[in-house]
Structure formats: structure tokens, C-alpha cells
Chain A
Amino acid sequence: MSTIFKRGPARPQANITPMIDVTFLLIVFFVLVSQIVDLENVDLELPAPDHAATRLPGEEPRAVVNVLPGPSGKSSGYRVAGESFEATPAGVQGLRSLLVELFQATPQMRVNLRADRRTAYRWVAPVFQAVRQAAVMADVGLDGASLNLVVVREDQ
């Protein structure tokens, strides 16, 4: 005995599930990446000199030292790689110790210095000393004791 199944016309449907999966993965990716970028770069008003004779940053490994702005030109501390240090001699010593560790892990590392344009120089100068001393302590050579001053270009 044969059975004949009566089938209606096929109804093609698009499966939206993988598309939604991909969309949510993209959202999660962008959220995570934006948090990582925020950890490295604090929102600062960087100096913007006229006719800036700057260069584009390279692809070399880097540590970003942010001088956190405080009221009336003071600084409330320093932040490197998500770690914060107070703007005190003890805080600068902690910053130097972290830089020594980072230099030892990555001797070819560059240090990017980001400071708010209103911050007084007395709060920026200790970073120079910390970087130079850390490079000497980690024995990374003369090239290590250099840093990049980060500014923005507004005349482009």
C-alpha cells in the first residue's frame, strides 16, 4: 500500500538567529574594546601647540602615563595601565617601581606622557625623573630613557 503525502508549497524562511548572534558578539566586542582604551587613555585636554612639529606614534610597545588633572593646575595623581598613584613622593616611587617592572618585561617599551594642558609643570617633572630612573634601574640602555610627549593637532 502506498501512501501519498500531500505537501503544500514550500515556505522559504530566513534564519535570523545567527545574524542576531553576530550582532551581539559585535556589541560585546566594542564594549570591551572601549573599556580597554579608557583604561589606557584618561580623558584629558591635551596641549595643542600651533604649527605642531609632531610625528605620528609608532607601533612599538608602549606604556601610557597619564597625569590626572586636579583643581587649579594641580594634579590628583598618575595612572599607568589601570593602576593609580598619588601625586606624592611615595606615589612617584610606586610609579617608578611599576615602570621598572614594565621595562624589564619589555625593554623596547616606549613611555607616552599625557598631561592636561592646564596642569602645572611641577606635577609633570616627577614623571621625567621616574622614567629616567626606571630605565637606568631596569638597564634598558640609553634608548630606553626617552619618552613621547602626547599632544593633539588641531590645525589639521
Chain B
Amino acid sequence: MSEPSARGEQLDLPPVRRRDRTAPPIGLNLTSMIDVVFLLLVYFLVATDFKQSEEIYRLDLPERREGMAIDPFELDDEPLRILVRNTGAASEDYRLDIEGARGTVRDFESLYEFLAARRIDGMGGGLFADDHPVLVVPSSGTSWSFAVGAFNAAVRAGYVNITFEESAS
């Protein structure tokens, strides 16, 4: 197609090609970021050590202050002493004895039943009030797990005044 020049002549020019320009697509390349996020996620999953839920027993330690006043008319309750010791070389077995009671208790479940059966329940049965002192006496070589097992049996049975013998025998 020819266009008229300033002097009115027709010039033979190539046709103007109009580029059909559309707006470039708008977008954010998230791929690399997602890669990094997943790498971090995997790292923390591998590195994390899922902890089991830790719970507590409250243990009151009697205050033994020097020169404490003692009420001469107050009768001390004789504590219920639970002896715990390891048996065998494998340190897997334990033995429980209740001082003054006939026989032994086989395991922590029967210790719980023994203690629960002797706690005053308000129905006329039982021997010991729930604040009767209970003393857990582990031998020096007893695993901490067994000492805690005996303590747990007394807590389960409803006693509230439970302590450990502090000097390991």
C-alpha cells in the first residue's frame, strides 16, 4: 500500500506491522519458596524429638529443724513402712514388704489393693486415715522406677502423707 507524500506523490512503503502486544501474565514464582519451606519442614520433623507428657507427684519433705518444739501430748502415728528392693542381677524384679504386715505383696497392684483396703473409707471399714504417714523405704540399690511405683500405689490408694526414707539403707 502506498502513502501520499508531502508533495502528493505516492510512496511505495512497506506496510506497517502493528505488534499485537498483550499485558504479560502477572504471577509470582512460588516454587523455590515452597521448596525451601518443605526442606525446613522435613528438617524440623527429623530433628524434633517428640517428648512424652511429663506429670508430677507432689512430695512433701518433713522439716526437721534443730530444736523444734515437740508437743509431749501429741501421739505420733507409727508410719506405715513399705520396703522396696531389687531382686536378681538383672534389676528387673523387685520385692515389696510392708513392715508389721504378714506376708508380702506381689506387685504394685496388690500393694495398692492392700493399702486401699486398709484406708478408712467413712463406711466403718479400714484402719488408717488418709493422712496416716506412709513411708516408702527403698534399699540403696533399688531402681528409682520401683521406688516411684510404690509411691504411686500409695497415692492411688488415697493417702496424702507419703514420704521417702531419705537415708538409703
> Could you tell me which A residues sit within 8 Å of B by CB distance?
9, 11-14, 16, 19, 23, 27, 30, 43, 46-57, 67, 73, 112, 115-122, 124-125, 128-129, 131-132, 135-136, 142, 145-154, 156
**In angstroms, how far is the closest chain B Cβ from the Cβ of A77?**
15
Sorting the interface of chain B by its residue count into under 10, 10 to 19, 20 to 34 or 35 or more gives 35 or more
Residues 131-145 (chain B) with a chain A CB within 8 angstroms: 138-145
CB–CB A122/B168 < 8 A: yes
Please tell me which stretch of B4-12, B21-29, B117-125 contacts chain A, meaning at least 4 of its Cβ atoms lie within 8 angstroms of it. Answer: B21-29
> Could you tell me which B residues sit within 8 Å of A by CB distance?
23-24, 26, 28, 33, 40, 44, 49, 52-65, 91, 108-109, 112, 138-145, 147-149, 151-152, 155-156, 164-168
Known A120-B142, A125-B165; further 17 A-B contacts with Cβ < 8 A: A12-B26, A13-B28, A16-B33, A55-B57, A73-B141, A118-B91, A118-B144, A119-B143, A121-B142, A122-B140, A136-B63, A145-B62, A146-B61, A151-B148, A152-B53, A152-B54, A154-B52
> CA A14 – CA B33 in complex, angstroms?
12
- Which residues of B are found within 8 Å of A52, using beta-carbon distances? 55, 152
A-B contacts counted at CB < 8 A amount to 145
**In angstroms, how far is the closest chain A Cβ from the Cβ of B3?**
24
CB–CB B152/A49 < 8 A: yes
Q: A47-B145, A149-B148 are in contact. Are A132 and B64 (CB under 8 A)?
A: yes
Provide the main secondary structure of the chain B interface: mixed
Across the interface, B144 reaches (CB within 8 A) one of A30, A57, A119, A142, namely A119
CB–CB A11/B26 < 8 A: yes
- Which residues of A are found within 8 Å of B151, using beta-carbon distances? 149
CB–CB A136/B57 < 8 A: no
Across the interface, A151 reaches (CB within 8 A) one of B54, B63, B91, B109, namely B54
> What are 23 A-B contacts defined by CB distance under 8 Å?
A12-B26, A13-B28, A47-B148, A49-B108, A50-B109, A50-B149, A55-B57, A57-B54, A117-B148, A121-B143, A132-B64, A135-B63, A136-B63, A146-B60, A146-B61, A148-B57, A150-B55, A151-B55, A151-B148, A152-B53, A153-B53, A153-B55, A154-B52
